[in-house]
Amino acid sequence: MATILINGQEVTIPDGQRLNLIQAAALAGIEIPHYCYHPGLSVVASCRMCLVEVGQRDADGNIRMMPKLVPACATPATDGTVVVTNSEKVRHAESLVEECLLLDHPVDCPICDQAGECYLQDYFYKYGQRERRAPETPFTSRRKDLGPYVTLFVNRCIMCSRCVRFTREVSGTGELAVVRRGNKAIIDVFDDYQLDNPLSGNTVDICPVGALCSIPFLYKQRVWFLRGNRSICLRCSTGCAIQVDHNRNRVYRLKPRYNPNANDWWMCDFGRFGFDYVYAEDRLRQPMRRTDGMLQPVSWDDIAERFAELWREAAGQDGTGTIAVVLSPFLSCEDAYLSCLYFRNLALPVRFYLGRVPVHGADETFPRRLLGAITNGRQQEPRFVIRAERCPNRRGVEAIIRHFQGEVPGFDDFLRDARQQDIAAAYLTGGYPESWLTEQEADVMGMLRCLVVHDVLPGPHLRHASVVLPMAVWFERAGSYVNYNGTLQCTERAVLPAADARSVGRLMWALLGRTRLYRPEVVLEELAEEVPVFAPAAELKGEFPEYGVRLDLSEPAHEAV
Amino acid sequence: MATDFEPVLLANVGVPDSQRLEVYRQRGGYRALEKTLREYSPEEVVELVVQSKLRGRGGAGFPCGMKWKFLPKDRTVTYLCVNADESEPGTFNNRILMENDPHQVLEGIAIAAYATRAQTAYIYIRYEYVRAYETLQQAINEAYEAGILGERVLGSDFSLNVYLHRGAGAYICGEETGLIESLEGKRGWPRTKPPYPAVEGVFRKPTVVNNVETLCCVKHIMDRGVDWFLSIGVPADPNNPRDLGSYGPKLYCVSGHVNRPGCYELPLGVPCRELIERYGGGVRGGKRAKAVIPGGLSMGFLKEDELDTPLDFNSLQKVGCLGLGTAAVVVFDEDTSIVELLHRSCRFFAHESCGQCTPCREGTGWMYRILTRILHGEGRIEDLDLLLELADSMGIIPGTTICGLADGAAWPVKTAIRKFRDEFEAFIRSGSRLTAASSGSAAGEAS
């Protein structure tokens, strides 16, 4: 156990943790300003913003300070280290670095997307000096698109080289480089190349200033108008922790949140920019029922009143027709659990199926192997994986179906059973961000007596639907999801659902006759009690765990209710 | 004291065909290597070099033996990097050694590699040294053919491969970790230390980086013995525990406004004035010296009345210079404008700053802009204090940069402004050099 002294305050570093002085100071609530240091990247100690005075305290309590300043990012916190971050000397160094960085900076904050979350700006107010002593600089701002999603404002760059290190160390694609020397140095892509790797959007996040900006987000919003809600990305089973930034009920930006159980600091462009479908023109917005062969708008109340009756009719006079309940892996655990409860209680023959699990190729791992990279013969652990399984909650839905039914038939089983007319009716849930059924597959459903589709986007399945229900997408509802390694993560609702869309959970809550408003956190507590696999979530009590809760899904629970 | 000094490092310079192996051998070449391989273990060689108190000739003056001792005991691979990227303005001693006596360089390399157990040596040679590159490559080929390099050097169990690597023309690649990065095929950005190259250097393996002249000295230490080496130069000051002494011969490069510019081999500690007057033939045109760079541009300036300072590792700090540096003495006569000189100096360092650390990247450029403004008659008196503030707060000495380039950029500024402040103020007040203190005779060129 190491104890260090920061500005006279003792900080104990927990055993087994190797921290640098920036991290150690953060434990004490002291901010050491920094630009080039990022916990996910190698340390270069080049911005020199984190300079501090250090010394060593010996066993007798005598302190010997070093004569020169050292970069906190490259100095390990060891027992007896003494750190001073607020001396005159440190303040002078900080203000000089800040002044140097602003020498060639265009100071175009009024038109800069980063303004409001810009370190250069924030540190200037905290550590800069008021007066500019360099009158000779013209203000210019040149822009260059580096790739489909990332643009560079050349003169805003402070040369921290985070983006360059990211493309070399995390994505392993190495498109970016520093070209030229001295104060003429700039970040650039090599000729005929562009920054188009699947992780390129992260360079925008890690850019401490407004040099790298996201093209889809450019000039869309001032960041101080945005409100952020914690959520996860549902584009693959990695389940990246994200923040959903929105204003006036519209989502503008998704950003990764640190979660060592899922994504570390990163997310892929596919997830980051892939939420356009939420605002698609043709998104399902209203409940509809087929009358005289045409889908006609109806109200949710109508649906709720007649829902149970629908299934009884479909099951037939003798009540022998099986009802298929297809639970999509895009549903939250609460959605799936309440659906299971509701259909169980119908006292009709019901079969639960896991909805289609979209799989695209193989897992894509990063860093990609870079030619000439010096790995010293070490096998590198992947730093980031875009998983082939392109859905957020296959494991959660599977665990719930397994609990209620013992076995978990898949979507192909559903299609087969439908084709063989083993089932009479189906409640089909979707939530997929793109079209997910072929015409032929949809035609199979034409043989059903009753088909209720609860989905986000239209598709061929609507042709045979008796009832169509619009679904709220993930950031329009709260819920929890289980990612590839069994981490249960909760999401908050960021915006209200588009038009009249509702989540499966809310529908089922009402159908189950529960009073008051639908509260997913209450459902999660109940789920944790009912389904043993989810037991670790019982202690949450509505708390939002930053890094999620690890579930043990290794042994499938076989007991059927 | 130095009148009768018989050159050792330059002994073969001027001998016809001195570059050829047979000539080198006739003149006693590779005797030291043979003796070393036969009689000493690597550890003993390191011990001898430690005893000789040999200090690096590349600029920093770090004790060579101590550098070798920093190598981890349990290492499996060691690399030797030879720093031949001589880029300090005014310096050309390595060039003379490589162009005229390449086998001496190779012999030094072989002994150093043996001592450090390196089986691979990279010579990182400055891009512009085309002739030295060709000469050295020829010598390497000769040495391979003669069994001096390659498997089983001179019949011993020791093997050594030497590769000659050309730089691409950057000053910063003379900094040892910048050199290592460049050698690995990357941008020449100095690494943050620790880890030092002795622990993690080329390809993340233990590495020793030595200057060409240092290695040539190693050869002579093995040939003539430690006592011979310690008999030359200036002993350590017993009252100053931080002085490690300045022993051995040194190549002094004299250039600028002197009658006989050239490279002179003298014992360490020769007074600057003696070097200029006696060897450099005095200031050109019978003029007085105004300022002298004692050891390459980064060391700062000496004033005329400081010229009696001995050129050794310990004395130059006393007159405000950074150190001995590369011992490249550049002389400026009384007609030189210090403002223009400093402007040139700042231009050089702004151009050569690698762009990694903020204080150096922006600071060198800023200083250059200020000097340009002063030169264009738009200076302000407070600019001088701003220059001093910038210069005082950049470099590894205050701790604000990774490598010493910023110190090198700062020292000329600090010494010039502190020692010639009157001239700067006069220049700024008049808006031109016309009335600058001591540049009357150059008035014609100024407009």
pLDDT score recorded for residue B433: 54
Q: Which two tokens stand for residue B407?
A: 């110190």
CATH of the domain at B266: 3.10.20.600
- Chain A closest CA to B89's CA: distance in Å? 18
Look at residue A538 in the predicted model and tell me its pLDDT: 86
Contact A400, A333 (CB under 8 A): yes
Angstrom distance (rounded) from CA B394 to CA B333:
29
Beta strands in A404-464 (DSSP E): 423-429, 450-455
Name which of A506, A346, A484 is nearest A429 in CA terms: A506
Beta carbons of B359 and A185 less than 8 Å apart = no
Tokens of A129: 């000096």
Half-sphere exposure of B367 (CA within 13 A, CB side): 37
Q: What is the ipTM of this complex?
A: 0.90
Q: How far is B354 from chain A (nearest CA, A)?
A: 5
Q: What is the dihedral of CA A432, A434, A439, A444, to 10 degrees?
A: 0
Distance from CA of A136 to the nearest CA of B (A): 8
B420 & B356 share domain: yes
Please report whether residue B9 resides in a domain: no
Cα separations (Å) of B239 from B63, B242, B243, B244, B308?
A: 19, 9, 9, 11, 21
What separation, in Å, do the N-terminal and C-terminal C-alpha atoms of chain A show?
50
In a domain? residue B259: yes
Chain A contact for B354 (CB, 8 A cutoff): yes
Which positions 84-113 of A are in contact with B (Cβ < 8 Å)?
Answer: 92-93, 96-97, 100-101, 103-104
Residue B236: partners with Cβ closer than 8 Å, 6 or more residues away: B53, B243, B244, B245, B314
Which of chain A's residues have a Cβ under 8 Å away from the Cβ of B187?
Answer: 177-178
Which of B304, B333, B362 is the last residue in one of the domains? B333
Counting other chains too, the contacts that B48-53 makes at CB distance below 8 Å and 24 or more residues apart are B48/B221, B48/B222, B48/B226, B49/B115, B49/B218, B49/B221, B51/B226, B51/B230, B52/B221, B52/B226, B52/B229, B52/B230, B52/B247, B52/B248, B53/B229, B53/B230, B53/B236, B53/B244, B53/B245, B53/B247
SS3 A139: coil
On whether any CB of chain A is under 8 Å from the CB of B167, the answer is no
The verdict on B87 and B170 lying in the same domain is: yes
**Domain contains B314:** yes
Residue among A480, A478, A445, A472 nearest A461 (CA):
A445
A374·B401 Cβ contact <8 A: no
Asked if residue B11 is part of any domain, the answer here is no
Q: What is the pLDDT of residues A142-156, one digit of tens each?
A: 899 999 999 999 999
Q: Is residue B82 part of a domain?
A: yes
- Chain B segment 366-395 residues within 8 A of A by beta carbon are 366, 369-370, 373, 386, 390, 393
Q: What is the mean pLDDT of chain B?
A: 93
Mark whether B131 and B254 lie in a shared domain.
no
Question: Quick one: pLDDT at residue B427?
Answer: 94
Same domain assignment for residues B119 and B222: yes
DSSP state of B62: -
Separation in Å, CA of A254 to nearest CA in chain B: 32
Q: What share of chain B is helix, strand, coil (3-state, %, to 5)?
A: 45, 15, 40
Q: Are B293 and B320 in contact (CB under 8 A)?
A: no
Q: Is residue B355 part of a domain?
A: yes
Residues of chain A predicted below pLDDT 50: 557-561
Find the residue in B nearest to A178 (Cα).
B187
The 10s digit of each residue's pLDDT in B156-209 is 999 999 999 999 999 999 999 999 999 999 999 999 988 999 999 999 999 999
Which pair of tokens denotes residue B299? 């060391």
User: Which of B191, B361, B397 to mutate to probe the A interface, most A CBs <10 Å?
Assistant: B361
The beta strand positions in A27-182, using DSSP E, are 51-57, 63-65, 70-71, 81-84, 143-145, 150-153, 176-179
CB within 8 Å of B253: residues ≥ 6 apart:
B90, B91, B92, B93, B262, B263, B326, B327, B328, B329
Confidence check: pLDDT of B1 > 50: no
Beta-carbon count within 10 A of B376 CB: 10
Cα B25 from Cα B31, distance rounded (Å) = 8
Q: Return the SS3 of A112.
A: coil
CATH number for the domain harbouring residue B58: 3.40.50.11540
Tell me the residue range of the domain where B307 lies.
248-333
B313 contacts B327 by C-beta, under 8 angstroms: no
Instruction: Kindly report the backbone phi and psi dihedral angles of residue B214, in degrees, each rounded to the nearest multiple of 5, phi listed first.
Output: -60, -45
Does the distance separating the beta carbons of A183 and B361 come in below 8 Å?
Answer: yes
Residue B132: phi and psi, rounded to 5, are -60, -40
Q: Do B355 and A178 touch (CB under 8 A)?
A: yes
Q: Residue A103, SS3?
A: coil
Q: For residue A45, what are the contacts with CB-CB under 8 A and spacing of at least 6?
A: A36, A37, A71, A73, A74, B192, B402
pLDDT in tens, B52-96: 999 999 999 999 999 999 999 999 999 999 999 999 999 999 999
At A72, give phi and psi (nearest 5°). -65, -30
Tokens of B248: 């051995």
- With pLDDT > 70 as the criterion, what percentage of chain B qualifies? 96
| Domain at B422, CATH number | 1.20.1440.230
For chain B, the domain total comes to 3
Looking at the complex, does the CB of residue B64 fall below 8 Å from at least one CB of chain A?
A: no
Query: Measured between alpha carbons, how far is residue A28 from residues A8, A32, A106, B70, B154 in Å?
Result: 11, 11, 35, 36, 62
Q: How large is the C-alpha radius of gyration of chain B?
A: 22
Report CA B185 to chain centroid distance, whole Å.
Answer: 24
Report how far residue B34's alpha carbon sits from residue B107's, in angstroms, rounded to the nearest whole number.
10
User: B120 and B253 share a domain?
Assistant: no
What's the DSSP call for residue A545? -
Two tokens at A428? 């089909």
Residues of A with Cβ-Cβ distance to B356 under 8 angstroms? 44, 46, 159, 161
B318 and B440 co-located in one domain: no
Q: How confident is the model at residue B439 (pLDDT cuts 50, 70, 90)?
A: very low
**Residue that wins the pLDDT comparison between B171 and B5:** B171
- Side-chain-side CA neighbours of residue B332 (13 Å): 22
pTM for this model (two decimals):
0.92
Shared domain for B327 and B349, answered yes or no, is no
Kindly state whether A45 is in contact with chain B, defined as any CB-CB distance less than 8 angstroms: yes
Q: What is the 3-state secondary structure (H, E, C) of A122-133?
A: HHHHHHCCCCCC
Question: Is the same domain home to B191 and B319?
Answer: no
Minimum distance, in Å, between the CA of residue A163 and any CA atom of chain B: 14
- Nearest-CA distance B196 → chain A (Å): 13
- Give domain status of residue B202, yes or no: yes
Task: Indicate yes or no: CB of A93 within 8 angstroms of CB of B184.
Answer: no
Q: What is the pLDDT of residues B103-156, one digit of tens each?
A: 999 999 999 999 999 999 999 999 999 999 999 999 999 999 999 999 999 999
Boundary residue ending a domain (B314, B333, B352): B333
Residue B253 and residue B304 share a domain: yes
Residue B334 structure tokens? 């009384």
Torsion angle, alpha carbons of A125, A128, A129, A131, to 10: -80
> Residue B255, by phi and psi: left (phi above 0), alpha (psi -120 to 50) or beta?
beta
pLDDT of residue A540: 75
Residues B183 and B308 in one domain: no
Q: Token pair of A72, please?
A: 């906190």
Residue (of A29, A16, A27, A77) closest to A52 by Cα position: A77
Same-domain status, B61 and B78: yes
- Sorted by sequence, the CB contacts under 8 Å of residue A410 that are 6+ apart come out as A353, A354, A357
Phi, psi of A117 (to 5 degrees): -135, 35
- B396 near A CB under 8 A: yes
Asked, for residue B97, whether it belongs to a domain, the answer is yes
Bond from prior residue into B195 cis (ω within 30 degrees of 0): yes
Q: Distance between CA A115 and CA A123 in Å, rounded?
A: 12
Domain end (from B316, B333, B350): B333
Residues B87 and B120 in one domain: yes
Q: Which of B323, B348, B353 is nearest to B415 (CA)?
A: B323
